Structure 1
Amino acid sequence: MSDLATSRGPAPLYFGMRGDRLAVSALFLVNGFLVGSWAPKIPVLMARLDITESIMGLLILVFGLGSIAMMPVIGALTARHGSAPLLKPATLALLPMLFLLTLAPELITTAVVVFVFGGLIGGMDVAMNTNAVAVEKRMKRAIMSSCHGFWSLGALLGAALGGVLLGSLGEIAHGLIVTVLATAAALFALPLLAQDQPTPETKAATPLKFPRSPLPYLVGIMALFSMIPEGAILDWSALFLQREHGAGIELAALGFAAFSATMAIMRFAGDIIRQKLGAVLTLRICGGFALTGMVLAALAPVPELAILGFAIAGIGISNIVPIAFSAAGNLPGIPSGIGLSIVTVMGYSGILVAPSAIGFIAEHTGFSPVLMGTAALVLVTLGLSSLARYANFSAE
């Protein structure tokens, strides 16, 4: 692109993949791996600090607040300086956080580390999505869905390995091994990152302020209204299946598992589908699956059908957010970092903030009406689906 100070030579290949694409994919994997490694650590942390579920809930909220606080800051800085100069220090600062959390001796120190951990996770998220947009522009083809697929894979690996290591070797060994593995992958990836620093002229012309154009906020609504259903399934599907269908814990756990499995598979397929069908049609098809799945889950007479509904919803939700992020990074007249920071903050609030409101509403109405309400939100995303055209690369 004319506003980027980048090299024009052919990209080197590693394991049959362009180096810049492999690098950003690996960083999505690392980010997801660290988040996935945090999840099984929660009960161990509660036992070590002797804290209640309510206090742990506040720590999880602190993690989310750290992410939301850092996302717009990193987004503004990437708009001014490019994603690579921000992604490197953010990644290197993030790598020891899980181990520092393991060493935190009491609650206040733990809360500070959790806030910084969440902030660096969120800041890295904005920067690596911006870098993925830069690679998409170079390749003139979609890669965002598979990048998010690598995040899902990393989260799965982190959660699975965490359970094994915590159970067999203990908390300190788990923190150390996870940190070493994540560091090795990051040190391999960082030198291969796409360099997307703006030219001095573009840098000087980039104001660090919220854009007046409604486009990033509308794309943010698309992301938000597809991530609220994701947050609802993540936090409440097991309880929904237990309370409203009488499912045992093993069957109830399959709700989110089925959703996660179909979402991960479809994210790795999503780039090819988007390239063939275009972003708008792909998003509309995905929205149809998401709507169908949420309605089926809400109205299912037996738990097995509800689980099938969650699986269908995973097919649909899988690629809506990657398309929204690609569109946010390509909005006319808006730097990628600014557009992505707005959409990322709006979207992730659907997972970090909305589930608490969902729990409050469900306590008074039950979960079926809430799931129907989240399905209605998908209709708004479908109504805004024409904005997905900014995620297309065929015209470049």
Structure 2
Amino acid sequence: MSTQETTASRTRSAYFPATRIAVSGLFLLNGIFIGAWATKIPEFASRLSLSESQLGLMIVCFGVGSLVLMPIAGILIARFGSAWTVKAAATAFLPTLLLLSLAPNIWISAVFIFLFGGLAGAMDVSMNANAVEVEKSMRRAIMSSCHAFWSLGAFLGATTGGFLIETIGGLGQAAVVTGVALAGLAAVWTSVLADKPHVAEAHRKARLPLSPLPWLIGIMALFSMVPEGAILDWSALYVRDELGASLALSGLAFGAFSGTMAVMRFAGDHIRDRFGAVKTLRVSTIFAIVGMALAGFAPNAYVAMAGFAICGIGIANMVPIAFSAAGNLPGFAQGVALSVTTVMGYSGSLFAPSSIGFIAEHTGFAWVFSMLPLLLVVVLLLSRHAVHADVRQTH
């Protein structure tokens, strides 16, 4: 092997060590399961003869499960480390899609969907914590690309889910996804970065933090994820009902947003390493504000979709930066500040869309999308706290 080839090989291993590949794989697996569940919802509701209100309560069980088990995951990370916690959470999480496919009635399904949402959330907190540890070990940002792999996994789970359900049924789809995921987990198992537990610190610090800093970063994550959830759930209905788009065109509203988001998440780590977390967050937030305002005041569907695409460019890296900042806060037990931020952030995407639907019923979606930039202005005002995400400055 030539000197140039040897140097190139070392460079690749420095940028993509096994620990980074492993945690990216965990994000991918989690995303695949969420995407697979999204396509499974109609079949799940039909099999159990759920009304719309009953299905709504089931989805609430998913959210409640996440909010219950996420803080517990934070405590476990403090006591046992993120590697142990993410492996335990993933091992418990992967069979839950099969359990949902086998559930014989509504009550057992409610228990299983609580576990599905809870363990998905526990895995989410712990894999984000492990990504923070990999960032520290590499002295390089990787959080945005990890979230990009989650988005890729959700895309794969969603696009293959319908085909699998049509061809081999709901149980068959769950079996295939679970089998592939278990094989993937086994492949990355030994490469997950082993971090040291801080048992003594956990006893002293693993309570809810009294300092306002984790809560302020949690507000940043919350106000970044509320607009994301609003676009996910309501953008298609907005451009169809209020801007006169066709059914086919309305489906592209979220596609425009998610497409630019995926691209920017893969580019986000390099941008953050070059310009710093604070500047990256501020520019990202300005893009998000402009895009959301453009969508809210749009005269037609095409302008609205351009606004959603610009918003995707901005929102893409706002949450990863908030998570990195929380995971690197000095003076907190490992995982606790991150679990606070994660719970606050995901509560925005889990519960805010239903409130938005209620408000829009009385005001219209144009007014809602026009007002959401106010939340993003708060993120801009708090952006100086993103300095903790600059992992090169923490060593």
Which bracket does the TM-score occupy, shorter chain normalised? over 0.9
Question: Residue by residue, what CA displacement relative to the aligned partner does 1:64-101 show, whole Å, maximum 9, x if unpaired?
Answer: 11001110111112112211111111101111110111
| Other-structure match for 2:214 | 216
CA distance in 1, matches of 2:242, 2:101: 38
Q: 1:73 is paired with a residue of what secondary structure? A: helix
1:162 aligns with 2:164: no
Asked if the contact 2:75/2:202 (under 8 Å) is kept, the reply is no
Residues 65, 117 of structure 2: 8 Å contact kept:
yes
Q: Give the match's secondary structure for 1:170.
A: helix
Q: Give the whole-Å Cα distance in 1 for the aligned partners of 2:46 and 2:14.
A: 43
Matched, 1:86 2:85: yes
2:7 corresponding residue in structure 1 = none
- Does 1:354 pair with 2:352? yes
More deviation, 365-374/191-200:
191-200
Instruction: Confirm or deny: 8 A CA contact 1:13 1:19 kept in the other structure.
Output: no
Q: Quick check: 1:241–1:247 contact (8 Å CA) kept in 2?
A: yes
Aligned position for 2:43: 44
Alpha-carbon contact 2:285-2:314 (below 8 Å) kept: yes
CA contact (8 A) 1:239 1:252 kept: yes
Question: What is the alpha-carbon distance in structure 1 between the residues aligned to residue 14 and residue 47 of structure 2?
Answer: 43
Match of 2:383 in 1: 385
Q: What amino acid sits opposite 2:18 in the alignment? A: G
In the alignment, the residues of structure 1 paired with residue 34 and residue 223 of structure 2 have an alpha-carbon distance, to the nearest angstrom, of 23
* CA distance in structure 1 between the partners assigned to 2:377 and 2:215 by the alignment: 17
Q: CA deviation at 1:15?
A: 11
Q: How has the CA–CA distance of structure 1 residues 184 and 315 changed in structure 2, closer, same or farther, with 3 Å as cutoff?
A: same
Percent pairwise identity? 54
Change (3 A) 1:56 1:349: same
The letter for the 2-side match of 1:263 is M
Distance in 1 (CA, whole Å) between partners of 2:198 and 2:58 is 41
Cα contact 2:321–2:386 (8 A) shared by 1? yes
Q: Structure 1's 280 and 19: CA in aligned 2 closer, same or farther, altered over 3 A?
A: same
What residue number does 1:233 align with? 231
Partner of 1:298: 296
> In structure 2, what residue type is equivalent to 1:390?
H
Q: Retained in 2: the 8 A contact 1:81–1:203?
A: no
For residue 268 of structure 1, report the CA deviation from its aligned partner: 0.6
Are the counterparts in 1 of residues 198 and 334 from structure 2 also a CA contact under 8 Å?
Answer: no
Q: Which moved more, 1:124-133 or 1:192-201?
A: 192-201
Per the alignment, residue 288 of structure 1 pairs with 286
Equivalent residue number for residue 341 of structure 2: 343
Aligned to 2:364: 366
- Partners of 2:56 and 2:14 lie apart in 1 by 42
Matched, 1:26 2:25: yes
Contact 2:25–2:149 (8 Å) recurs in 1: yes
Match of 1:5 in 2: none
**Structure 1, residues 182-222: CA drift from partner, whole Å, max 9, x if none?**
11111111211111123555455x43211111100000000
Instruction: Tell me the CA shift for residue 238 of structure 1.
Output: 0.9
Distance 1:246 1:96 in 2: 43
Shift of 1:172: 1.6
Alpha-carbon displacement from aligned partner over 1:288-329 (angstroms, at most 9, x marks no partner): 110011000001101011011111101100000000000001
- Aligned to 1:39, what secondary structure does the other structure show? helix
SS at match of 2:296: helix
Q: What amino acid sits opposite 2:159 in the alignment?
A: A
SS in 2 for 1:305: helix
- The whole-number CA distance in structure 2 between the counterparts of 1:17 and 1:394 is 17
Query: Residue in 2 aligned with 1:260?
Result: 258
What's the TM-score, normalizing by structure 1?
Answer: 0.95
SS of residue matched to 2:392: coil
The match for 1:179 is 178
Distance 1:307 1:199 in 2: 47
Counterpart in the other structure of 1:4: none
Alignment-derived partner of residue 130 in structure 1: 129
1:103 matches 2:99: no
Counterpart secondary structure, 2:175: helix
Return the alpha-carbon distance in structure 1 between the equivalents of residues 290 and 378 of structure 2.
Answer: 14
Query: Aligned partners of 1:200 and 1:75: how far apart in 2?
Result: 13
TM-score between the two structures when normalised by the length of structure 2? 0.95
Mapped contact 2:74–2:335 kept (Cα < 8 A): yes
CA distance in 2, matches of 1:170, 1:58: 24
CA deviation after TM superposition for structure 1 residue 16, in Å:
7.7
Letter of the 2:207 counterpart: K
Q: Is the 8 A contact 1:328 1:336 kept in 2?
A: no
SS for the counterpart of 1:197 is: coil
Aligned counterpart for 1:310 among listed residues 308, 311, 315: 308
Alignment-mate amino acid for residue 117 of structure 2 = G
Greater Cα offset, 122-131 or 54-63: 54-63
Task: Give the equivalent residue in structure 2 for 1:7.
Answer: none
Amino acid at match of 2:125: V
Return the alpha-carbon distance in structure 2 between the equivalents of residues 54 and 46 of structure 1. 11
Runs of 4+ in 1 over 6 A off after TM superposition: 11-16
Work out the CA distance in 2 between the residues paired with 1:172 and 1:353: 29
Partner of 1:6: none
SS at the partner of 1:40?
A: helix
- Rounded Cα–Cα distance in structure 2 between residues aligned with 1:240 and 1:201: 52
Quote how far apart the aligned CAs of 1:336 are. 3.2
Report the Cα distance in structure 1 between the residues aligned to 2:36 and 2:178, rounded to whole angstroms: 10
Greater per-residue helix proportion = 2
Q: Which residue of 2 aligns with 1:3?
A: none
Distance 1:328 1:245 in 2: 39
Return the alpha-carbon distance in structure 2 between the equivalents of residues 33 and 238 of structure 1.
23
CA distance in 1, matches of 2:304, 2:33: 30
Task: List gaps (5 residues or longer) in structure 1.
Answer: 1-10
Q: Given residue 273 of structure 1, which amino acid in structure 2 is its aligned partner?
A: I
1:67 aligned counterpart, secondary structure: helix
